[in-house]
Amino acid sequence: MKVAIFGGSFNPVHNDHIKIANRLVEELSLDKLFIVPTFVAPHKQGEEVISGEHRLQMLKIAFEGCDKIEVCDYELKKGGISYSYQTVEHFKHTLSLEKLYFIVGSDMLENFPTWKYPERILKSSSLVLVERKNGESCDEQSILKINSLFNASVTRVKVFGETVSSTKIRVYQALGLPLSNLVPSAVESYILNNSLYKQNELYSYVERALPQKRRVHVAGVILTATSLAKKLGADVKKAEISALLHDIAKYENPDNFSDFKLPSETPEDIVHQYLGEYIARIKLGVLDEDVLTAIKYHTTGRPQMSLLEKIIYVADIIEPSRMFLGVEQLREEIKKDFFQGFKICLEEIVDFLLKSGKEVYPLTLDALNYYK
Ligand SMILES: [Fe+2]
Ligand SMILES: [Fe+2]
Rounded to the nearest angstrom, the distance between the alpha carbon of 276 and the centre of ligand 1 is 9
Rounded to the nearest angstrom, the distance between the alpha carbon of 8 and the centre of ligand 2 is 33
**How crowded is residue 161: how many other Cβ atoms within 10 Å of its Cβ?**
8
The answer to whether the CB of 3 falls within 8 A of the CB of 99 is: yes
Residues 6+ apart with CB under 8 A from 132: 105, 106, 159, 160, 163
* pLDDT (tens digit per residue) in 331-358: 999 999 999 999 999 999 999 999 998 8
The answer to whether residue 314 scores a pLDDT higher than 70 is yes
Query: Which residues in the chain belong to E strands, given as ranges?
Result: 2-8, 32-37, 69-71, 99-105, 126-131, 154-158
Rounded to the nearest angstrom, the distance between the alpha carbon of 43 and the centre of ligand 1 is 34
Domains present along the chain, CATH in parentheses: 2-164 (3.40.50.620), 228-371 (1.10.3210.10)
The answer to whether the CB of 24 falls within 8 A of the CB of 6 is: yes
Closest CA to 34 of 86, 88, 84, 70: 70
CA distances in angstroms from 226 to 65, 229, 239, 310, listed in the order given: 37, 5, 6, 12
Furthest-apart CA atoms within the chain: distance in Å: 77
Rounded to the nearest angstrom, the distance between the alpha carbon of 318 and the centre of ligand 2 is 10
N-terminal to C-terminal alpha carbon distance within the chain: 63
Rounded to the nearest angstrom, the distance between the alpha carbon of 63 and the centre of ligand 2 is 37
Residues 6+ apart with CB under 8 A from 176: 207, 215
* pLDDT (tens digit per residue) in 6-18: 999 999 999 999 9
Residues 6+ apart with CB under 8 A from 319: 217, 220, 221, 223, 224
- pLDDT at residue 133 in the model: 76
- pLDDT at residue 135 in the model: 58
Rounded to the nearest angstrom, the distance between the alpha carbon of 336 and the centre of ligand 2 is 23
Q: What is the CA radius of gyration of the chain?
A: 24
Q: 299 by DSSP, 3-state: which?
A: coil
Write down the pTM of the prediction: 0.91
* pLDDT (tens digit per residue) in 136-173: 666 888 899 999 999 998 999 998 877 889 999 999 99
Strand partners, 128: 103, 155
* pLDDT (tens digit per residue) in 261-291: 999 889 999 999 999 999 999 999 999 999 9
**What is the C-alpha separation between 51 and 174, in angstroms, rounded?**
17
Rounded to the nearest angstrom, the distance between the alpha carbon of 251 and the centre of ligand 2 is 12
> Average pLDDT over the chain, rounded to whole?
93
**What is the C-alpha separation between 301 and 313, in angstroms, rounded?**
7
Length of the chain (residues): 372
**What is the C-alpha separation between 39 and 43, in angstroms, rounded?**
12
CB under 5 Å of ion ligand 2: residues: 247, 316
* pLDDT (tens digit per residue) in 170-212: 999 999 999 999 999 999 999 999 999 988 899 999 999 999 9
